[in-house]
């Protein structure tokens, strides 16, 4: 198998050589070798850090290193061949992971290490690794008896398959819908969107314009199409994807998949002694209980819902005055919000695009992190890529040390999963006296270059890029040599969004905007008037945005906390109850949002979606340190790098936050940054 590119010990995965047929043989070989090595390691009488943890970290990282390119290519170059290869490997990996987690001999070895004399002398990262390992053994069912252990293992395998099926159904449903449109129907769309629709048509070999449900097209129609009928049609197609409603009703239906996922998660949690999957999920997070999470979300809702109600009433009045619209529907909100922002704030999102060409944004973003963290980001040629649009960059420290690198895959295209994300390719690892530098994937779905122009981003897309790069820095700047607690690994899910949301703040600062903006034709920076309008619009509809996220988070937590096997998932019953409590926008009955909620059903956020808001509190308060010291204050930036980015999961996130900020986090900066006035407690 030495000719298998996935098994080469090369500096970078040879993406130019990796094919679907390489996946299963490579995984089979690595799993077989790992199993033999685990059996040797688990049999130790007096395990030490060097004899147990160091070799185990190395073999687990080799497996991750082998699988990461396969998983990534399945997401960004999806095809029947890649899908089949991925799905053949997935149960084998799940089975291995469960087997490892239920390995009693290995569990005893870690317990012996924890109870031994050497444990107190381990560095904090080492102690946390051992403690996390013991916790994860228990959460993997190591203490279960025979039949229950076998059942838990079967559940984990089925859940892995179901998560993949959910994602595939959603991708297939998104790709299945296409609609030809006339120029008249597309009145109001900006030229960038029209050029994209023409490009879609050319791609499909048809004349005129073609609409799809890829995000750049969907957002353009919802925000700019004057035709209300077209907006409704596209909205319905989008919000009924992979469901029992809409233009492809029942064809890719995720309904049964959701029900089965919820049932199996609940059963697994009960086997481990938890009352619900929500409790199981929180066993590895900062938040201590379901009640704490619900209280946190409801407290934010108490402050933000009054603002959201005012904003929606103002928008409805605006639509009525402008166009005589008697009832504001879900497919009207983005359109009239954009018109209102244009008229009242003098700011059109599309007017900003020419000032945010992707090459300039990247150059400016790299300068921002250079000033903050003392690192240089530079392109590197000759590194294998999987598509011509992909580029590779490496991160270099002030002393010239290469700290890591990442691939940037920026544009939407067919057979590429929607959304934006950062994922690991390789982790930092010390082995044989040398350090393996980390590698990452940075993936977005921006509108590609059209008509000879560079890709022009909206300001929202600039925020997305900064967000994902923040995740990337967390992975790439780690100083922890052990993958289990380095980078983003070992970081509780409700703290892992801190660096990503933190970095977004520079997209609003005048000093940073001067770096990341420049007209694609003239190089002219964002004019002062536009800059001031952009900053004034920062909190436009902040209340509506806040309660929307709170709706998702409450729905997710309640869905998993209140599951009753006798009653089933009650997905839309619970969603409706949550909307009654916090939402101000009530979507139509055909809306099937949950059927496409891949974050919680396929993306690792099950009973954890609240993490975005939880970490946003941390991020806003962390940023307030720069508001006090200066947005490019080097000392504060280096302290954030040292205490947060370099530490990964080596210590409790609250301890890291306090080390940076000097105190526990406060919610006030988040409300202030959102332009939301705290609601005062009423006297009794």
Is there a single domain that holds both residue 273 and residue 218? no
Kindly tell me if the per-residue pLDDT of 78 is higher than 50.
yes
The C-alpha atoms of residue 623 and residue 631 are separated, in whole angstroms, by: 8
Cα 474 to its chain centre, rounded Å, is 13
**How many other β-carbons are positioned within 10 Å of the β-carbon of residue 318?**
18
The total number of structural domains that make up the chain: 4
Identify the pLDDT of residue 682: 58
On whether the CB atoms of residues 179 and 617 are closer than 8 A, the answer is no
pLDDT tens, residue by residue, 532-561: 999 888 999 999 999 999 999 999 999 999
Confidence at 350, pLDDT banded by 50, 70, 90 = confident
The C-alpha atoms of residue 479 and residue 64 are separated, in whole angstroms, by: 19
Given 120, 139, 158, which residue is the final one in a domain?
139
Q: 15: Cβ–Cβ under 8 A, 6 or more apart, which residues?
A: 69, 73, 384, 385, 386
Identify the pLDDT of residue 442: 98
The strands making up 421-426's β-sheet, listed across from edge to edge, are: 376-379, 391-396, 402-411, 439-446, 421-426
Is there a single domain that holds both residue 235 and residue 213? yes
Is there a single domain that holds both residue 462 and residue 516? yes
Identify the pLDDT of residue 680: 74
Residue 676 falls inside a structural domain: no
Kindly tell me if the per-residue pLDDT of 1 is higher than 70.
no
Identify the pLDDT of residue 142: 96
pLDDT tens, residue by residue, 408-450: 999 999 999 989 999 999 999 998 889 999 999 999 999 999 8
CATH label of the domain that carries residue 480: 1.10.1370.40
pLDDT tens, residue by residue, 360-370: 999 999 999 99
CATH label of the domain that carries residue 23: 1.20.1050.40
Angle between helices 255-271 and 146-176 (to 10 degrees): 160
Kindly tell me if the per-residue pLDDT of 2 is higher than 80.
no
Is there a single domain that holds both residue 382 and residue 462? yes
Read off the pLDDT of each residue in 320-346 and give the average, rounded to a whole number: 96
Confidence at 676, pLDDT banded by 50, 70, 90 = confident
Q: Say whether 551 is catalytic.
A: no
Residue 640 falls inside a structural domain: no
Task: Tell me which of 233, 468, 504, 551 is the catalytic residue.
Answer: 468
pLDDT tens, residue by residue, 3-16: 999 999 999 999 99
Percent of residues, the chain, with pLDDT higher than 90: 92
pLDDT tens, residue by residue, 440-492: 999 999 999 988 899 999 999 999 999 999 999 999 999 999 999 999 998 99
The C-alpha atoms of residue 395 and residue 507 are separated, in whole angstroms, by: 21
Domain, as residue range, for 56: 5-101+103-139
The DSSP line for 85-113 is HHHHHHHHHHHHHHHHHT-HHHHHHHHHH
Q: Which residues pair with 379 in a beta bridge?
A: 393
Look at the block and give the residue holding tokens 């002062």.
Answer: 528
Kindly tell me if the per-residue pLDDT of 345 is higher than 50.
yes
Given 114, 139, 164, which residue is the final one in a domain?
139
Angle between helices 255-271 and 571-582 (to 10 degrees): 90
On whether the CB atoms of residues 270 and 610 are closer than 8 A, the answer is no
| Token digits of residue 418 | 């929607």
Identify the pLDDT of residue 450: 87
Distances (CA, A) of 579 to 301, 576, 595: 12, 5, 16
Identify the pLDDT of residue 431: 84
Mean pLDDT estimate for the chain: 96
Kindly tell me if the per-residue pLDDT of 167 is higher than 50.
yes
CB-count exposure of residue 267 (10 Å: 0-12, 13-18, 19+): middle
Residue 675 falls inside a structural domain: no
Is there a single domain that holds both residue 531 and residue 580? no
| Higher pLDDT among residues 1 and 128, named by residue | 128
DSSP character for 564? B
3-state secondary structure of 395: strand
Q: Computed from CA positions of residues 345, 348, 354, 356, in that sequence, does the dihedral angle turn out positive or negative? A: positive
Is there a single domain that holds both residue 185 and residue 64? no
Identify the pLDDT of residue 536: 85
Helix H segments across 457-589? Answer: 459-476, 498-503, 510-516, 528-536, 542-561, 571-582
pTM for the whole structure: 0.92
Is there a single domain that holds both residue 391 and residue 459? yes
Residue 627 falls inside a structural domain: no
Q: 48: Cβ–Cβ under 8 A, 6 or more apart, which residues?
A: 113, 118
pLDDT tens, residue by residue, 169-190: 999 999 999 999 999 999 999 9
Is there a single domain that holds both residue 285 and residue 218? no
On whether the CB atoms of residues 246 and 237 are closer than 8 A, the answer is yes
Cα 542 to its chain centre, rounded Å, is 21
The C-alpha atoms of residue 61 and residue 429 are separated, in whole angstroms, by: 8
Confidence at 684, pLDDT banded by 50, 70, 90 = low
């Amino acid at each position: 198998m030495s000719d298998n590119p996935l098994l080469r010990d090369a500096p970078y995965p040879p993406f130019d050589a990796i094919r679907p047929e390489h996946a299963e043989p490579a995984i089979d070989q690595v799993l077989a070798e790992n199993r033999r090595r685990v059996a040797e390691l688990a049999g130790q009488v007096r395990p030490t850090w060097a004899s147990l943890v160091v070799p185990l970290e190395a073999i687990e990282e080799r497996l991750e290193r082998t699988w990461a390119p396969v998983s990534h290519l399945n997401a960004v170059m999806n095809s029947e061949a890649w899908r089949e290869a991925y799905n053949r490997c997935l149960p084998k990996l799940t089975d291995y992971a469960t087997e490892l987690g239920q390995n009693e001999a290995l569990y005893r070895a870690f317990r012996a290490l924890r109870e031994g004399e050497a444990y107190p002398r381990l560095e904090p990262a080492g102690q946390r690794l051992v403690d996390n390992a013991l916790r994860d053994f228990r959460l993997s069912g190591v203490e279960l008896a025979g039949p229950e252990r076998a059942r838990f293992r079967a559940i984990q395998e089925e859940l892995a398959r179901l998560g993949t099926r959910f994602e595939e159904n959603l991708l297939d449903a998104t790709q299945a819908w296409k609609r030809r449109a006339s120029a008249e129907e597309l009145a109001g769309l900006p030229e960038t969107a029209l050029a994209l629709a023409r490009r879609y048509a050319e791609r499909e070999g048809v004349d005129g314009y073609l609409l799809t449900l890829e995000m750049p097209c969907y957002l353009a129609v919802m925000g700019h199409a004057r035709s209300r009928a077209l907006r409704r049609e596209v909205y319905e197609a989008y919000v009924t994807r992979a469901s029992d409603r809409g233009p492809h009703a029942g064809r890719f239906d995720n309904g049964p998949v959701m029900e089965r996922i919820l049932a199996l998660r609940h059963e697994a949690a009960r086997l481990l002694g938890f009352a619900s999957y929500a409790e199981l999920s929180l066993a590895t997070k900062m938040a201590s209980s379901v009640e704490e999470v619900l209280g946190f979300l409801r407290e934010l809702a108490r402050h933000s819902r009054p603002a959201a109600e005012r904003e929606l009433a103002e928008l409805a009045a605006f639509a009525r005055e402008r166009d005589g619209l008697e009832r504001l529907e879900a497919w009207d909100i983005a359109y009239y919000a954009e018109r209102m922002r244009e008229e009242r704030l003098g700011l059109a999102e599309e007017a900003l695009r020419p000032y945010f060409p992707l090459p300039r944004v990247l150059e400016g973003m790299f300068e921002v992190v250079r000033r903050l963290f003392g690192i240089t980001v530079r392109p590197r040629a000759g590194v294998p890529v999987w598509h011509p649009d992909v580029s590779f960059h490496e991160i270099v420290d002030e002393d010239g040390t290469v700290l890591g690198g990442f691939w940037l895959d920026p544009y939407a295209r067919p057979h590429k999963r929607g959304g934006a994300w950062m994922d690991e390719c390789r982790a930092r690892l010390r082995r044989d006296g040398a350090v393996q530098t980390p590698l990452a994937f940075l993936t977005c779905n921006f509108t590609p270059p059209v008509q000879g122009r560079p890709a022009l981003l909206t300001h929202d897309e600039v925020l997305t890029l900064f967000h994902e790069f923040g995740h990337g820095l967390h992975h790439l700047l780690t100083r922890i040599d052990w993958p289990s607690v380095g980078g983003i690994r070992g970081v509780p899910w409700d703290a892992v969004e801190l660096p990503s949301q933190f970095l977004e703040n520079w997209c609003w600062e005048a000093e940073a905007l001067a770096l990341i903006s420049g007209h694609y034709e003239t190089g002219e920076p964002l004019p002062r008037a536009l800059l001031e309008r952009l900053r004034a619009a920062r909190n436009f509809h902040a209340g509506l945005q806040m309660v929307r996220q709170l709706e998702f988070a409450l729905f997710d937590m309640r869905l998993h906390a209140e599951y009753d096997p006798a009653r089933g998932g009650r997905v839309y019953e619970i969603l409706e109850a949550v909307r009654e409590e916090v939402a101000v926008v009530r979507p139509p009955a055909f809306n099937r949002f949950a059927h496409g909620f891949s974050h919680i059903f396929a993306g690792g956020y099950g009973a954890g979606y609240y993490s975005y808001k939880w970490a946003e509190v941390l991020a806003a308060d962390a940023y307030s340190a720069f508001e006090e010291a200066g947005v490019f204050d080097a000392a504060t930036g280096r302290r954030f790098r040292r205490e947060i980015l370099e530490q990964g999961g080596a210590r409790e996130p609250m301890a890291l936050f306090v080390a940076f900020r000097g105190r526990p986090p406060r919610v006030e900066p988040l409300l202030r940054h959102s332009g939301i006035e705290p609601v005062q407690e009423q006297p009794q």
